[in-house]
Amino acid sequence: MTPATPKPETITRKQSIIQPEPDTGKPLVFNTKGLNLYYGKTHALKDIHLPIAENEVTAIIGPSGCGKSTYLKALNRMVEMVESVKITGEVLYRDSNIFDRSFKVEELRTRVGMVFQKPNPFPKTIFDNVAYGPRIHGIRDKKTLKQIVEKSLRGAAIWDEVKDRLDENAYSLSGGQQQRICIARCLAIEPDVILMDEPTSALDPKSTMKVEELVQDLKEKYSIVIVTHNMQQAARISDKTAFFLNGEVVEYDATDTIFSNPSDKRTEDYISGRFG
Amino acid sequence: MLKAGSVKEMIQQKKKATSSTSVIEKAVPVLLFTAAFISVLTTIGIVFTLIIETILFFRQVSIAEFFSGTVLRPLSRVEPQYSILPLIMGTMMTTIIAMLVAIPVGLTTAVYLSEYASTGARKVLKPMIEVLAGIPTIVYGFFAFTFVTPVLREVIPGLASTNALSPGLVMGIMIIPMVASLSEDAMSSVPNAMREGALAMGCTKFEVTFRVVIPAAISGIIASFVLGISRAIGETMIVTIASGSTKNFTFDVTQSMQTMTAYIVEVTSGDAAAGTTIYYSLYAVAMTLFVFTLTMNMLARYISRRFREVY
Amino acid sequence: MEYIDIDRVKKRMDKRLFINKMVKGIFFASAMFGLVVLAILLYRVIADSIGWISMDFLTGLLSTSAERAGIRGAIIGTLWLMAIVGPVTMILGVGTAIYLEEYAKKGKIHSIIQTNIANLAGVPSIVFGILGLTIFVRLFGLGASVIAGGLTMSLLVLPIVVVAAQEAIRSVPSHLREASYGMGATKWQTIKNVILPASIAGILTGVILALSRAIGETAPLVVIGIPALLIPVPTNVTDNFTALPMQIYYWTLDAVLVAEYANLAAATIVVLLIVLFILNSAAILIRNKFSKRY
pLDDT (tens digit per residue) in C166-207: 999 999 988 888 898 888 888 888 999 999 999 999 999 999
CA pair distance A97, B290, nearest whole angstrom? 64
HEC string for C258-289: CCHHHHHHHHHHHHHHHHHHHHHHHHHHHHHH
Report whether pLDDT(C63) > 60. yes
| CB-CB under 8 Å, A106 with B193 | no
State the smallest CA–CA distance between residue B198 and chain A in angstroms: 8
Q: CB distance C3–A5 less than 8 Å? A: no
Q: Is A134 in CB contact (< 8 Å) with chain B?
A: no
Query: What does the alpha-carbon distance between residue C258 and residue C250 come to, in Å, rounded to a whole number?
Result: 12
- Comparing alpha-carbon positions, the chain B residue that sits nearest to A107 is B202
Spatial separation of the C-alpha atoms in residues B282 and B303, rounded to whole Å: 31
Angle between helices C108-121 and B18-60 (to 10 degrees): 50
Q: Please report the pLDDT score of residue A5 as a whole number.
A: 46
Amino acid identity at A137: H
What pLDDT was estimated at residue A213?
A: 92
Sheet holding A112-115, edge to edge: A112-115, A193-197, A223-227, A57-61, A240-245, A248-254
Query: Which comes out higher in pLDDT, residue B288 or B21?
Result: B288
Q: What angle do CA B159, B164, B166 make, to 5 degrees?
A: 70
Decide if B198 contacts A78 (C-beta within 8 A).
Answer: no
Q: Are B232 and B171 in contact (CB under 8 A)?
A: yes
Predicted pLDDT at A15: 41
pLDDT in tens, B77-100: 778 889 999 999 999 999 999 999
Percent of chain A past pLDDT 70, that is, above it, reads: 90
Chain B touched by A108 (CB under 8 Å)? yes
Tell me whether A77 touches chain B (CB under 8 Å).
no
Q: Which of A78, A122, A178, A227 should we substitute to test contact with B (largest number of B Cβ atoms within 10 Å)? A: A122
Mean pLDDT for chain A overall: 88
CB contact under 8 A, B206 and C19: yes
Rg (CA), chain A: 19
- CB atoms A137 and C4 under 8 Å: yes
Average pLDDT estimate for A181-202: 93
**Least Cα separation, residue B202 to chain A (angstroms):** 4
CB B78 within 8 A of CB C191: no
The per-residue pLDDT for B108 is: 96
Q: Chain C contacts of A144, Cβ < 8 Å?
A: 3
Give the residue with greater pLDDT, B269 vs A114. A114
DSSP letter (8 states) at residue C112: H
Q: Do A104 and C16 touch (CB under 8 A)?
A: no
| CB-CB under 8 Å, A110 with C12 | no
b/e map B77-98, b = 16+ CB within 10 Å: eeebebbbbbbbbbbbbbbbbb
Give the C-alpha distances (Å, rounded to integers) separating A123 from A129, A166, A170, B214, C267.
8, 13, 7, 11, 53
Mention every residue, 6+ apart, whose C-beta is less than 8 A from residue C165. Answer: C93, C94, C96, C97, C98, C199, C202, C203, C206
List, as own/partner pairs, every contact residues C19-23 make where C-beta atoms lie below 8 angstroms and the sequence separation is at least 24, other chains included: C19/B204, C19/B206, C20/B204, C20/B205, C20/B206, C20/B207, C23/B206
Residue C266: the pLDDT is 95
Closest by alpha carbon to A35, among A99, A123, A94, A80? A99
Q: Is the pLDDT of residue A176 over 80?
A: yes
Residue A14 has pLDDT above 50, yes or no: no
- Predicted confidence at residue B5, as pLDDT, reads 61
Residue C291's pLDDT is: 62
Distance CA C232, CA C240 (A): 9
Residue from B91, B89, B84, B90 nearest B66 by CA: B84
| B166-177: average pLDDT | 96
Contacts of C232 (CB under 8 A, 6+ apart): C73, C239, C240
Chains that touch A (3 or more CB pairs under 8 A): B, C
Could you give the percent of chain C with pLDDT greater than 70?
97
Contacts with A86 (C-beta within 8 Å, 6 or more apart), sequence order? A37, A38
Count of CB contacts below 8 A, A vs C? 46
pLDDT of residue B12: 66
Residue contact B34–C273, C-beta within 8 A: no
- With a cut of 90, say whether residue A250 has pLDDT above it: yes
C47/B contact by beta carbon, under 8 A: no
State the SS3 of chain A.
Answer: CCCCCCCCCCCCCCCCCCCCCCCCCCCEEEEEEEEEEEECCEEEEEEEEEEEECCCEEEEECCCCCCHHHHHHHHCCHHHHCCCEEEEEEEEECCEECCCCCCCHHHHHHHEEEECCCCCCCCCEHHHHHHHHHHHCCCCCHHHHHHHHHHHHHHCCCHHHHCCCCCCEHHHCCHHHHHHHHHHHHHCCCCCEEEEECCCCCCCHHHHHHHHHHHHHHCCCCEEEEECCCHHHHHHHCCEEEEEECCEEEEEEEHHHHHHCCCCHHHHHHHCCCCC
Are C4 and A4 an interchain contact pair (Cβ–Cβ within 8 Å)? yes
pLDDT of the residue at C226? 86
Chains meeting C at 3+ CB pairs closer than 8 A? A, B
Q: How far lies B35's CA from each of B40, C92, C132, C158, C277, in Å?
A: 10, 5, 18, 11, 30
Q: What is the pLDDT of residue B26?
A: 85
Spatial distance between the Cα atoms of B238 and B230, rounded to a whole number of angstroms: 15
Task: For residues C163 and C115, give the distance between their C-alpha atoms in angstroms, rounded to a whole number.
Answer: 12
Chain B: residue nearest A173 by CA?
B311
Q: Cα distance from A114 to chain B (closest Cα, Å)?
A: 6
CA distance, residue A140 to nearest chain B CA (Å) = 15
The pair phi, psi for residue C176, each rounded to 5°, is -65, -45
**Percentage of chain B surpassing pLDDT 90?**
68
List of chain A residues whose C-beta atoms are within 8 Å of the C-beta of residue C8: 2, 137-138
Cα C133 to Cα C125: distance, rounded to the nearest angstrom:
12
Pick from B25, B40, B286: which is nearest to C116 by CB? B40
Q: Please state the rounded mean pLDDT for residues C235-257.
A: 90
What CATH code would you report for C55-290? Answer: 1.10.3720.10
A113 contacts B201? CB cut-off 8 A: yes
Given pLDDT bands bounded at 50, 70 and 90, which one contains residue C1?
low
Distance CA C170, CA B37 (A): 20
pLDDT at C230: 63
- Whether residue A120 and residue B197 make contact (CB cut-off 8 A), yes or no, is yes
**Is there a contact between A3 and C9 if contact means CB atoms under 8 Å apart?**
no
The mean of the pLDDT values for chain C is 90
The residue-averaged pLDDT of C261-287 equals 93
User: What does the domain layout of chain C look like in residue ranges?
Assistant: 1-49, 55-290
**Mean of the pLDDT values across residues A111-134?**
94
A chain contacts of residue C12, beta-carbon cutoff 8 Å: 137-138
Measured from the Cβ of residue B125, the count of other Cβ atoms closer than 10 Å reads: 20
State the pLDDT confidence band at C12, using cuts at 50, 70 and 90.
confident
Q: Which residues of A touch C17 (CB under 8 A)?
A: 104, 106
Kindly list the residues from chain A whose CB atom is less than 8 angstroms away from the CB atom of residue C10. 107
B108 to C113: CB separation less than 8 angstroms, yes or no = no
Q: Which residue of B has its CA nearest to C112?
A: B40
Q: Does B161 score more than 50 pLDDT?
A: yes
| Contact (CB<8Å) B138/C248 | yes
pLDDT, residue A12, reads: 42
Q: Does A83 touch chain B (CB under 8 A)?
A: yes
Q: Please, what is the end-to-end C-alpha distance for chain B in angstroms?
A: 63
Question: How many Cα atoms occupy the beta-carbon half-sphere of C141 within 13 Å?
Answer: 0
Are A108 and A76 in contact by the 8 Å Cβ rule? The answer is: yes
- In the stretch 149-208 of chain C, residues with CB closer than 8 A to chain B read 155, 158-159, 162, 186-188, 191
b/e for B248-266, b at 16 or more Cβ within 10 A? bbbeebbbbbbbbbbbbbb
Reported confidence tier of residue B19, pLDDT bands at 50, 70, 90: low
Q: What is the pLDDT of residue C7?
A: 80
Which residues of A lie inside 8 Å of C (Cβ-Cβ)?
Answer: 1-5, 104, 106-107, 110-111, 134, 136-139, 144, 147-148, 151, 189-190
A43 touches chain B (CB under 8 A): no
Cα separation, C193 vs C184, in Å, equals 13
Average pLDDT over residues A14-40: 73
Among A246-250, B20-24, B48-52, B104-108, which stretch is predicted with the lowest mean pLDDT? Answer: B20-24
Strand A96-97 to A42-53 pairing: unpaired
Chains that touch B (3 or more CB pairs under 8 A): A, C
Question: b or e along A31-55 (b: 16 or more beta carbons within 10 Å of the residue's beta carbon)?
Answer: bbbebebbeeeeebbebbbbbbbbb
C-beta separation of B258 from B248 below 8 A: yes
The pLDDT tens digits of the residues spanning A200-214 come to 988 889 889 989 999
Q: Smallest Cβ distance to A109: which of B193, B200, B216? A: B200
Judge whether residue B248 has pLDDT over 90: no
B-chain residues near C154 (CB < 8 A): none
> Tell me: the pLDDT tens digits for A227-238?
998 888 999 999
With an 8 Å Cβ cutoff, are B206 and C24 in contact? yes
Name the residue facing B119 among A83, A116, A171 (closest C-beta): A83
HSE toward the beta carbon, residue B285, CA cutoff 13 A: 33
Nearest Cβ partner of B32 from C16, C99, C127? C99
**Mean pLDDT in residue range C133-156:** 94
Whole-number Å distance between alpha carbons of A251 and A259: 11
Angle at A272 between CA A266 and CA A275, to 5 degrees: 60
* Three-state secondary structure call for residue C144: coil
Region for residue A40 given its phi and psi (left: phi exceeds 0; alpha: psi -120 to 50; beta: otherwise): left
